Structure formats: C-alpha cells, structure tokens
Chain A
Amino acid sequence: MPDVHLSVFRGTPSTTGTFAEFDVPAEEGMVVLDALHWIQAHEAPDLAVRWNCKAAKCGSCSAEVNGRPSLTCKTRLSDFEEGETITVEPMRAFPLVRDLVTDVSWNYEVNKSIPPFQPPADQPQETWRWQQEDIERVQEFRKCIECFLCQDVCHVLRNHETEQPFMGPRFLVRSAGLEMHPIDTADRTRHLKDEGGIGLCNITKCCTEVCPEHIKITDNAIIPLKERVADKYYDPIQMVWRKITGRSADPPPPSGAPD
C-alpha cells in the first residue's frame, strides 16, 4: 500500500493550535489509531492521544476524522480515497487538554446527578424472573461504551445553544436503561425534564448516526422518555385534574436512602 497523508491537530488550551503533516507507511487493515501510534513512535513522541483497548470496546479514542466524530480504532485507512488527506481533530464539544485529547469530565459530573438503580424493597432477589425478550431493549442501552461521540455531535451541546441544563444523548440513554429496567422503581421523569433538559432535544438523530454501537438512541431511548415526561407533565387532562385537586405532578421525596 502507498503511504497515507495525515493532517493532525496539535495544540494546547493556551495556543491557537496548528495542523502537523505526516506521511505514514500503510499496511493492510491499518486504522487511524495505528497511524497515530506510528507517528508517536517515529515522528512526534509527545503527540497526545487517548486510547485503551484498540478494539472498539472502551470508547476512549474518539476524535473527528475528516469532520466526522469517529472512534479512531475503528476507522480504517482503506476507507479513504487514495491520496486523500486524513484530517484528525479533537472532539469539538469539549475543552481541549492537548492535541487530540479533550476534557470530558463534564460527562462524569452529569452522570452523578442521575437517580441510581433502585430495586423494589418488597421483592426478594430469588423471585426475580425476566424473559430475554423483555430485557433486550435495556441491553441495547447498556451496550454504550461511553465514547461521548453522541455528545460531541449533538448540536445542543456542540454549539452551546442553551443556558439551560441538557444532559445529552449519552445520559438520556443511561436514563432509559434505568427507566426500562424490569424491576427498577425510581421515577426519573422530573430529573429528565429539569436537570436532564430532555425537551431541548429536537430529534435530528445525529447521535444515532455516529453511535459505534449502533444504539437507536433517538427512536428507542429519547422518544419513549419524551413521551413519559409529556404524559406526566403535559397531558391536558392531567393538568386540569392537578388544577382541581391542587396536587403536584411530583411525588413526595422517597423516605430512606436509595439502595
């Protein structure tokens, strides 16, 4: 195979950043991450790249390759035209740490706010019986490898379109996995509406398109959750009923600490 030409972003938060050009000898089956490793070992030993498994299982090596949010360990050099420059940039939705590495700690903070799994207190574990077909949807959501590509591509987060909080597709998927768990008892609709900002998603499905695990984020997770929130807070009959009775849509806070 002929050499491939990579144009790789290099920079720090305090500098403007530049693109460095590299010609990398290509072997059959090589992926963009292999090319970045070759550059580290031969041309730029300090090139910052975040990666772990190199098998599309850990979701560490996310970047934008020719503008598309991608796992670099899964993007093959042979997917590009011969002679085409492969441009590699960090995810744009997150603050830069250095070169291709971004600060994704915001995601971990958002995650902490989600009410955790809460099994029923009155149902001993020995009695739990779930059919495979009843858990397949939850298993789809639990496939998420937290690459944050969906967060990167989501225009609400990427363009900082709002001052209101919005947890982004990743955490809507996590919430859906908890909400649709066969025995979970917590109610996350208020959290989804307020801290989660689910109303801000206008279902353009960009997140679904970039998901390396092929999770149908919009159709299977976000839309059903939007329906739950709408049923609870925006159903006209319920709203009239609440007006008459003076009851709130939110239940009183649960007593005792969640397990």
Chain B
Amino acid sequence: MSETPERYPHDVLVVGAGGAGLRAAIEAAAMGASVGLVCKSLLGKAHTVMAEGGVAAAMGHVEPKDNWRVHFRDTMIGGKLLNNPRMAQLHAQEAPDRVRELEAWGAVFDRTRDGRILQRPFGGHSYSRLAHVGDRTGLEMIRTLQDRAVAAGIQVYMECTITHLMSRPDRVRGAFGYWRTTGQPVLFPAKAIVLATGGVGRAFEVTSNSWEYSGDGQALALLAGAELIDMEFVQFHPTGMVWPPGVRGLLVTEAVRGEGGILRNKDGERFMWKYLPEDRRHEYAATDEEASRWVEAQSASRPTDARRPPELSTRDNVARAIYTEVREGRGSPHGGVFLDISYLPADHVRRKLPSMYEQFKELADVDITAGPMEVGPTTHYIMGGIRVDAETGATTRPGLFAAGEVSGGMHGANRLGGNSLSDLLVFGQRTGAGAAADAATQSGETYVDPVAVRAAAAELAAPLAPGSGEDPYRLHEELQGVMQTLVGIFRTESDLDEAIGKLADLRRRWPAIRVTGGRAYNPGWGLVYELRNMLIVSEAIARSAKQRRESRGAHSRIDFPEPDEKWAKLNSVVHMAGDSMKVKSARLPALPNELQQLITKEVS
C-alpha cells in the first residue's frame, strides 16, 4: 500500500449521505462552503431509502385543525417529556417548510382531492400528518435530495469508510478512512465535520437496519471527546416480518396500521384494546365500530369525529403488547401476531401499500390483500445519540456537528413514526448551516497531525497482518446475541450487568482479530472497524440502561416497571475518561412556560 493517503481538504466534511447528510451538505454548499460528502455505500442507497410511511409535518392539508403546537405536544408526549424541548419545537415549526422545499426541488408526493400534498395518520399523531408517496417515501426523499446535491455540484466520495477523526486539543480537524473498493487510505482535512451516519441496529440480531448501521458516528464522536445522551432508548418497531427466517426483522411499515391494519392474536382477539395506557385511552376509539368508522373516513380521505383505532398507539407500547402476547402463548405459528388489512378492497391496499404488497408476495408467498401478515418487534432506531445544540447541531466538541439518527435529544424516550424523516430535514438544514458558519471562522489550511495519520493507518492495517486470530464474523454474532437477549425490549439489572461483562470481554478480544484476503472490497476487514464501533455504542446502551432504574418510553425494566418521578427530568450522559466509559445524568433543558402550557393544555 502507499504510505501517504490521498488528501481531499474541504471547509465542511459531511459523513453519511442519508437524508440528514444530504440536507446538511446542500445547506453548507448554499452558504458558499466547499463541501465533501462521504458515504459508505453508493449515493442514494443510505438507510433513508428504506423509510416507508411518510414525513411528519403539520401542514393541515387533510385536517386543517393541525398546527405546529399540536405536533410539538404529540412529539413531547410520545417522547415521555424527555425530549430536548427546543429541538421538538424547532422540528414542529420548521418541518412544513422543509417538506414544501422538497416539492419545490422536484419531489412528487401523493395528492389530496384538491391537489395538495396528501397526509396520512400515524401512531401518536393527533391528526393526519404524514406527507407520503405510497409506502416508499424515503426513496422519494433521498432521490430528490440526491438530485439537488448533484445539481449543486457537491463533491461526493462514494464507498468510503471513515475510521478515525483527526483531533487536536482545540478542535476536530479532519477524518481518516479508506476507499472500500481499493482499501487505500484517504484523509479529509476539514474545518468542520458533520456526522450523519445513522443508527446502530446491526448490534442486534433481529433488526430492520442494513449493514451500514454500525454506530460509526456515535463511536467516532465519543472517541473524539464528545458526549452521547439517552442511549438506553432503543426503538423496537412493533412490526417486523417474522417469517421466513431469511427476512426476519424486515420492516412492515406502520402505514399498514395507519391505513386500518388490525392486530390480532392466535385466538382472533384484537388485543390492543387491553394495552392502551389509561391516561391516553380517551384519544382512541371506544369500540370496533368507532374504529372502523375512522378507517372508512381515512380511506376516503375525509375528516371524521371517530377516534383512532387502538393499533395506532405509540410504538413502544405496541411493541411491548406484541412481545407480551407472544410470551404468554397467544402468538402466531412463527412467533409473531397477525396484522390484517385484507378486509379492505384489494385495489386500495395495492395502491396505498405497494411495496408491502410486493415484499410479502415475493419474499413470503403471502398475499396481504387476501389474508393477514405475521409480524413481531424488530430493532429499528435509537432515540439517543450525540449530544447537540438545538440551533446549530454543534456537539460538545468544537468543530464537530451531528444531525439525524446519530444525534440525540429530539425524540426523548420514544420516537413517533414519521418524525424521523422530518428530523433529518429540519436538523440537516440547521446543522449544515451551523457547520458552514463555524468553518468560516477558521482561516488558512487545516493542519492535521501526520503522526496521528500514521497511527490511524497502522491501526487500520493491523487486522491484515499474517497469522490467525479472532474471526470478526464470530465476534459480531456473539455481540448480536448479547444485545438481543440481555439488552432487548425488557431489561433487568442482572441481565445488564451480564451484558456489560460480556461486552468488555468482546472488546478485549477485538485487537486479536485477523482477516484474510487483502484490502480490495474486503467485507471481513470492513467489519473489524464497524465491530469496534458497535462494541463501544453497545456498551453505552447497556450502561445507560443500567443507570436508569425506571421504565419510561422504549426503556422497560422488569425490576423497575413504573416511571419514577426522580428520573423524569434527567438525561443519561455518556463520555470517555481516558479508555473507560463513564455514565452520569444531567438535568433536561428547562421547558419554557409557553411550551409547558402547550403540553398541559389541550391545544387546537
């Protein structure tokens, strides 16, 4: 290999080209910054492409009563009030403009009868709020942003993995990585860096996430001296495919329930009636009849006074309900429950849920217009992430920014469906602007310490050394086992202690990994650094989960099954002290009076 890496300096380097990264890059470029956009895959393949149901924005096209205040309230209540209130406010206020902007850039959303952007209902949202394109909204979003970025002439570095951030005591100054196609090292000196690398679902055995979701950004930030918050809050999406085995965990969009899908156990019981939280029961239909009136109105896109079906409870609640039904012996043949939309006209189902129809027909031989699907919980999203400033996306480390799933705070203890795509747009835009403004304060050429570059290059090459050692695939399998069984939907102190011990053991074995086959497009070698990141982030999840001795949102402790007032206003904060990881708690940012009123009062 060549000793000196290729070098591409930029004002702003964006790592990750999903919705948040693309939106950040577009904004930074519009502000005049020289922008580099690095992605592990080809452009347009990032995880955003898999988002199905829609993007939440209170535009009020279907239900004119909707406005940002209601969206803010729904988001905070869904997040069990653990959200950063300023982020939730900015998100609710700015999402409509960000969606309209996509339309102005060429996106073609489904339409209302009067020709405007159509909005569909989703769990935890008071009104029909999700702008969508059938069930392939993420594809529409990423293609629109991709086209915009290409037209803006942004430099894209495809199939490139960042393994190290180059830090100096004062600030972060660049990123080091390698081309996946050749394995050759590459250095990006940068005045500001935006991490937009998404989540960490691949640390779990059953997940809706692709191979890219290995916690890269969270780990890089932690190692560079930034903080993570709320890492115990991992979203288990209630409906993943459970059969056949090859597709276990694959997402079944919440839009199935948004369009009227009914959940039943093996006895045919519509079990969600039993699991509605008492304090929210008034928001849901009281009878099957009221729920079907709501579905009829919904299918015809007309307003109704009927309330939502119980299946549209928040994701944390529906996931626990399904898990409990299965555990208590009322599951379907393949260990899930039944989700049925086949009672609606087949044409309607195919038009509203085209990719679900295809997915089940082609991968499971199930015609969802003729019979029920089998579904169960799957690891989907992490609410926690890098601690950021709401206005600019700045992390606690100068020169380093973060946006999208890799950041934390916006969603609190549980994310509402549809709030992720809007999060990417709102905070992608803000973070791109924040990073460009910060970069503009730095003059001259960015200095990167050559000693640090050589050290990173040596570390990168280490697993290729001759000889035998640990196998990365085995370690990954063991990690997934630990997270799935000990840090899953229901947690206990003893399980978490066991997990922390096993994760420490895996980290001890990690340096002994050896791989064969050289540098060019070698997936085993690529897995080594992703494994390092997954191990670090998994430890942050387990330690934060252990610290929070209560149940709230997506974090459920069997040994502490109720919310505890003591924890109601505390975030978990993770940082590195030398080589060891520390967890503490910090007070939630104060909720200004006018926002507090929006939550306590019924708003319209």
Contact = CB atoms under 8 A, between A and B. Distances in A.
Interface of A: 12, 27-31, 34, 40-42, 45-60, 74, 76, 97-99, 101, 103-105, 108, 111-112, 116-117, 119, 125, 128-132, 135, 138-139, 142-143, 145-146, 178, 181, 184, 258
B361 to A, nearest CB: 11
Contacts of B300: none
Interface stretch (B74-82, B97-105, B531-539, B567-575): B97-105
22 contacts: A12-B520, A27-B245, A27-B246, A30-B245, A46-B516, A51-B211, A52-B47, A52-B210, A57-B50, A57-B136, A58-B41, A58-B45, A99-B521, A104-B42, A108-B158, A117-B151, A125-B103, A125-B104, A129-B115, A138-B108, A139-B133, A142-B133
Contacts of A125: 100, 103-104
A67 B150 CA distance: 34
A178 B148 CA distance: 13
A45 B516 contact: yes
Interface in B91-114: 100, 103-106, 108, 110-111, 114
B438 interface: no
Given A46-B522, A51-B211, 17 more contacts: A29-B247, A29-B364, A30-B244, A45-B471, A46-B518, A49-B523, A50-B41, A53-B47, A53-B50, A55-B251, A103-B181, A116-B151, A117-B147, A119-B104, A132-B118, A139-B108, A145-B139
Contacts of B243: 29
A138 B243 CA distance: 34
A181 B106 contact: yes
A47 B114 CA distance: 53
A98 B358 CA distance: 31
Given A40-B523, A51-B211, A53-B50, A135 B246 contact: no
Interface in B112-148: 114-116, 118, 133-134, 136, 138-140, 143, 147-148
Interface in B228-250: 243-247, 250
Contacts of B515: 45-46
Given A60-B45, A103-B181, A108-B43, A130 B111 contact: yes
Contacts of A76: 362-363
A101 B42 CA distance: 12
Contacts of A54: 210, 247, 250
Contacts of B250: 54-55
Given A30-B245, A52-B211, A104-B42, A129 B114 contact: yes
A130 B246 contact: no
A181 to B, nearest CB: 7
A233 to B, nearest CB: 26
A131 B363 contact: no
A25 to B, nearest CB: 11
Nearest to B515: A45
Nearest to B133: A139
B306 interface: no
Interface of B: 41-45, 47, 49-50, 100, 103-106, 108, 110-111, 114-116, 118, 133-134, 136, 138-140, 143, 147-148, 150-151, 156, 158, 181, 210-212, 243-247, 250-251, 355, 358-359, 362-364, 471-473, 477, 515-518, 520-525
Contact of B49 (A53, A131, A178, A184): A53
A63 B473 CA distance: 24
A119 B133 CA distance: 20
A58 B523 contact: no
A30 B358 CA distance: 16
Contacts of B362: 56, 74, 76
A46 B523 contact: yes
Contacts of A30: 244-246
A135 B103 CA distance: 13
A166 to B, nearest CB: 20
Contacts of A34: 246
Contact of B50 (A55, A98, A103): A55
Contacts of A128: 103, 115
Given A46-B525, A56-B362, A97-B520, A117 B106 contact: yes
Contacts of A41: 473, 477
A12 B519 CA distance: 12
Contact of B108 (A31, A58, A135): A135
Contacts of B244: 27-30
A58 B115 contact: no
Contacts of B245: 27-30
Contacts of A146: 42, 44
B246 A31 contact: yes
Given A117-B147, A125-B104, A146-B44, A29 B363 contact: yes
The listed residue with most B CB atoms (<10 A of its CB), out of A34, A52, A101, A108, is A52
A28 B248 CA distance: 12
Given A29-B244, A57-B50, A97-B181, A131 B520 contact: no
Contact of B158 (A27, A58, A105, A129): A105
A104 B45 CA distance: 13
B211 A98 contact: no
Contacts of B521: 48, 97-99, 101
A103 B211 CA distance: 20
B210 A58 contact: yes
A176 to B, nearest CB: 13
Contacts of B133: 139, 142
Nearest to B244: A29
Contact of A40 (B363, B364, B473): B473
A141 to B, nearest CB: 9
Nearest to B520: A98
B252 to A, nearest CB: 10
Contacts of B108: 130, 135, 138-139, 142, 181
B358 A46 contact: no
A105 to B, nearest CB: 7
A93 B108 CA distance: 31
Contacts of A52: 41, 45, 47, 49, 210-212
Contacts of B520: 12, 48, 97-98
B431 to A, nearest CB: 23
A128 B515 CA distance: 56
Contacts of B247: 29, 31, 54-55
A225 B127 CA distance: 41
Among B45, B181, B247, the most chain A Cβ lie within 10 Å of the Cβ of B45
B522 A53 contact: no
B136 A60 contact: no
Nearest to B362: A74
A57 B44 CA distance: 11
A29 B211 contact: no
A79 to B, nearest CB: 10
Contacts of A116: 106, 147-148, 150-151
Contacts of B140: 142
B133 to A, nearest CB: 7
A117 B276 CA distance: 46
Contacts of B114: 129
A111 B50 contact: no
B139 to A, nearest CB: 7
Contacts of B136: 57, 143
A135 B111 contact: yes
Given A27-B245, A52-B211, A117-B147, A178 B106 contact: yes
A132 B247 CA distance: 33
Q: Which residue, of A40, A41, A55, A178, has the highest number of chain B Cβ atoms within 10 A?
A: A55
Contacts of B143: 142
Contacts of B518: 46
